Amino acid sequence: MAEILKFAKEEDASKIVVGYPLSLKSEKTLQTLEVDKFIDDLQSFFLLKNEPVEIVTFDERFTSRMASGFIAISAMSKTKRRDKSLVDSISAQIILQDYLDKNINKRN
């Protein structure tokens, strides 16, 4: 929690976007409940530290598959393509970009 807060302060972030794992039927899963708990804990920590950072969720369905597809067609080495953290990193980028695209379009 402290590392997230430190990063938010360094980047002057007023909002944190968290990928929200729903089932294909848009229902909560066991992982969704874990994310809900994480968000509650993070919000409590920010309140305790008197930091006004908003936490928003964004549907993350299919982002791992999209990231894996991107990696598969890239020129990366086979070893690098197997790195799970790379899939997670690209998935996070997809979630954030989708969030930004959706919210920019709302304003226009």
pTM of structure: 0.77
Q: Burial of 64 by CB count in 10 Å (0-12 exposed, 13-18 middle, 19+ buried)?
A: middle
Instruction: Please tell me which residue, 29 or 65, carries the higher pLDDT value.
Output: 29
* pLDDT at 106 exceeding the cut of 70: no
Residue in 27, 18, 12 with CA at minimum distance from that of residue 91: 18
Domain ranges of the chain: 1-61, 62-101
Tens of pLDDT, residue by residue over 39-82, are 999 999 999 999 888 999 988 887 777 777 777 777 666 666 66
- 17 secondary structure, DSSP code: E
Of the chain, the percentage scoring pLDDT greater than 70 comes to: 87
CA distance 62 to 68: 10
CA distance 90 to 81: 12
